[in-house]
Amino acid sequence: MSCKVNFIAGAILAGIVLSTSSASYCSSPDDKAGQIDTLMTAFHQQRQFHGVVLVAENGKVLYNKAFGMADRENHVPNTFRTPFRIASMSKQFAAAAAMMLVSDGRLRLDDHVCDYLPDYPKETGQSVTVDHLLTHTSGIIQDNPLKGAFAENKYRPNTHREMRSYFQDSSLLFIPGQGFQYSNFNYNLLAMIIEAVSGKPYAEFLQERIFAPLGMSQSGTGDGAAASPPVATGYECAFLKAPAPAQPPHPSTCQGSGDVYATVGDLLKWDRALYTETLLPAEYRDMMFTAYANDGRYGYGWQMGGYPIGNGSDSVYAVYHDGGGPGMQSIIIRLPDDKRLIVILSNHNEPWLHIRLSRPREDIAPQILAILYGREYELPKTSAAYTLAVADTLSADYDLPSEFAKLHTERPEEFSFDGDEFYCAGLCYMWDKKPQKALPFLQVAVEELGTDHLPHGWQCRNVYGEALFAHGLIEKGCIQFEKSLELKPDNPTAVRTLKAAEPYR
């Protein structure tokens, strides 16, 4: 067994002993800051949150605290002055920059890409408008960070022409304006247009028109080499491994779409400015917060709509955007009706998974909102899936089903029994070509806890079916693929697999 696994096993098993029971708590209007601090301390201890949280009301800071390490190797802690890469939260700045040029009369929303980039392929460039880019309704393909030319080249400097080569010759997914497909390429292209219209590098435009006027002195674009204090190092927490420094994409590959770094304090200045006409006349500012696409949930660089309060059915109208990438998770939530703000910036992430870490958007923000709006909130629980996975590494004949049943029966208040987390553990084992380890986790996920309600529930069935096939259980595996088809009829993997299995049933 590796030293890393031994280290993590000790830490998590110690957490089992030290963890406190979790229950629903009634929020108190007299001690919101104290309750948020209790909540965030629990997220740090139980769900390994590393980052900074800021909550403000009417422009005044209600809560601001940092957790964990900005640089593990050099033992540098996160502070409220630590800049973080904010990934797709950057889109709101690109949208504001574009609207400034619209307000200046130098850019029109109904102008086409070819009007500013004349060498762009005319077949698509004459049908895609600036408005389409802002709202992700252009039909331009989604960038794939895992495979293809873009994935192979995203860590090196790219020229604008090279960036465009990854998408400009592909067919549009739909007629512009008649669909929605979130794609970073839309905002890469928007940044190129901003440069063409303004005659300045995109980074310089943001600095002159947004960061400097608002006094956002610890914010910028690019790799953050000049930032002081330094930008927090991003860490990826792979399955059963200690956090390791993540490799961020080169800034040239995420210009406009994810190249900004900022502090929570600077983002508070940004929030306050958006209630005024400091940057934009009200007419153009309000256009950013008008829903145009994705069933009325996406404007110009912002999402909007009901945001869940706690774990119940209540919600509150919010304007928000999250961001995620190698070693980073972030979200900004503006509550314009009540002049409230939540900013959560983290420099730890699980790549493509949800097993042991807290997620700003799904896990943390709803509980903070519950405290702010006087609803019941819940302290986080330690992941049962990850705890059992660690324990599994310590024994060659570990009986996961019985240990799960024991933990589920005897300590339900201390652990999170989440089907998605057990599925992710099984998926990791399948990626590692260890179906014997994967099968019991997938069995617990699908059959004991249930995963069909998840957006990717059909994938859970597919992976479970593959694990059963690996054990020679063809008929049982086919049943899983059949159930996958019930959840997602246009599921080529299940169709293809069932057809190939027919002779063996």
Q: CATH number of the domain that 332 lies in?
A: 3.40.710.10
Q: By the 8 A CB rule, do 144 and 138 touch?
A: no
Grade residue 21 by pLDDT with cuts at 50, 70 and 90. Answer: very low
pLDDT, residue 209, reads 98
- The residue-averaged pLDDT of 55-59 equals 96
Q: Which residues of 314-335 are buried (b: 16+ CB within 10 A; e: fewer)?
A: bebebbbbbbbbbbbbbbbbbb
- What pLDDT, on a 0 to 100 scale, did the predictor assign at position 500? 95
Nearest to 8 by CA among 314, 182, 241: 241
Same-domain pairing of 224 and 358? yes
Name the pLDDT band for 23 (thresholds 50, 70, 90): low
Q: Please state the rounded mean pLDDT for residues 206-223.
A: 97
- Among residues 372, 395, 426, the one where a domain terminates is 372
**Contacts for 116 with CB less than 8 Å, ≥ 6 apart:** 193, 196, 197
Picking from 341, 372, 403, the residue at the C-terminal end of a domain is 372
* 167 and 256 in a common domain: yes
What's the pLDDT score for residue 351?
Answer: 79
Tally of domains within the chain: 2
Q: What is each CA distance from 113 to 127, 131, 171, 194, 298, in whole angstroms?
A: 8, 10, 15, 11, 21
* Non-local CB neighbours of 412 within 8 Å, separated by 6+ positions: none
* CA dist., res. 440 & res. 84, Å (int): 38
Residues of the chain above pLDDT 90, percent: 87
Residues 80 and 268: beta-carbon distance below 8 Å: no
* pLDDT grade for 492, boundaries at 50, 70 and 90: very high
447 vs 394, higher pLDDT: 447
Q: Region 56-84: what's the mean pLDDT?
A: 97
pLDDT at 20: 40
Same domain flag for 237 and 120: yes
CATH number at residue 496: 1.25.40.10
Taking the C-alpha atoms of residue 328 and residue 89, their distance in angstroms, rounded to an integer, is 11
For the record, the structure tokens of 327 come out as: 């070693």
User: Cis peptide leading into 229, omega within 30 of 0?
Assistant: yes
184 occurs within a structural domain: yes
Can you tell me the distance from the alpha carbon of 99 to that of 121, in angstroms, rounded to the nearest whole number?
25
Judged against a pLDDT cut of 70, whether residue 415 lies above it is answered with yes
What's the 3-state SS for 204-250?
A: HHHHHHHHHHHCCCCCEECCCCCCCCCCCCCEECCCCCCCEECCCCC
- Asked if residue 354 and residue 240 are part of one domain, the reply reads yes
Question: Is 61 inside any structural domain?
Answer: no
Q: Is the pLDDT of residue 17 over 50?
A: no
- Please compute the mean of the pLDDT values over residues 108-123 and round it to a whole number: 97
Query: First CA to last CA across the chain, in angstroms?
Result: 39
**Pairing mode, strands 244-245 and 235-236:** antiparallel
Residue 411 domain flag: no
CA distance 289 to 297: 10
pLDDT on residue 12: 41
CB 325 within 8 A of CB 87: yes
Residue 455's pLDDT is 94
**String of DSSP letters for 370-392:** HHHTT-EEE---EEHHHHHHHHH
Residues 181 and 300 in one domain: yes
Query: Is residue 13 domain-resident?
Result: no
DSSP state of 479: H
| pTM of the complete model | 0.91
- Distance CA(425)–CA(104), nearest Å, equals 52
Is residue 480 included in any domain, yes or no?
A: yes
For residue 496, report the phi and psi dihedrals to the nearest 5 degrees: -65, -40
CB-CB contact of 233 with 327 (8 Å):
yes
* In the block, residue with structure tokens 């920059």: 97
| Whether residue 423 sits in one domain with residue 289 | no
Q: How far is the C-alpha of 403 from the C-alpha of 504, rounded, in Å?
A: 34
* pLDDT band (50, 70, 90) for residue 48: confident
pLDDT of residue 193: 98
Lowest mean pLDDT among 142-146, 239-243, 317-321, 331-335: 142-146
Q: Pick the residue with more confidence: 16 or 84?
A: 84
Which residue range forms the structural domain that includes residue 448? 418-504
- Bridge partner list, 69: 77
pLDDT bucket at 27, cuts 50 / 70 / 90: low
Ramachandran angles phi, psi of 55, nearest 5°: -130, 130
pLDDT class for 145, splitting at 50, 70, 90? confident
Does residue 277 share a domain with residue 199?
yes
Q: Give residues with Cβ within 8 angstroms of 219, minimum separation 6.
A: 83, 211, 260, 261, 262, 263, 266
For 115-156, the DSSP string reads HH-TTS-HHHHTT-BHHHHHHT-S-PPPP-SSSSHHHHHTTS
pLDDT of 227 strictly over 60: yes
State the pLDDT at residue 294.
87
Structure tokens at 491: 């599921």
Q: How confident is the model at residue 225 (pLDDT cuts 50, 70, 90)?
A: confident
- What average pLDDT does the structure give for the chain? 93
Q: How confident is the model at residue 14 (pLDDT cuts 50, 70, 90)?
A: very low
Q: Measuring CA to CA, how many Å separate 406 from each of 16, 95, 340, 403, 436?
A: 14, 52, 43, 5, 21
- In this structure, are 135 and 222 located in the same domain? yes
Q: Do 150 and 274 reside in the same domain of the chain?
A: yes
* Whole-number pLDDT of residue 356: 86
pLDDT band at 352 (very low <50, low <70, confident <90, very high): confident
- Helices (H) and strands (E) counted in the chain, each on its own, are 21, 18
Judge whether residue 360 has pLDDT over 60: yes
Q: What is the pLDDT of residue 5?
A: 35
Q: Do residues 319 and 426 both lie within one domain?
A: no
| Residues making up the chain, counted from first to last | 505
Is 10 part of a structural domain of the chain? no
Let me know whether 351 and 451 are in one domain. no
For residue 157, how many other CB atoms are within 10 A of its CB?
Answer: 10
pLDDT at residue 2 above 60?
Answer: no
Q: Using one digit for the tens of pLDDT, what is the confidence trace for 440-479?
A: 999 999 999 999 999 999 999 999 999 999 999 999 999 9
Q: Specify if 117 maps to a domain.
A: yes
Rounded Cα–Cα distance for residues 38 and 368 (Å) = 11
Please tell me whether residues 193 and 341 are part of one structural domain: yes
Is residue 191 domain-resident? yes
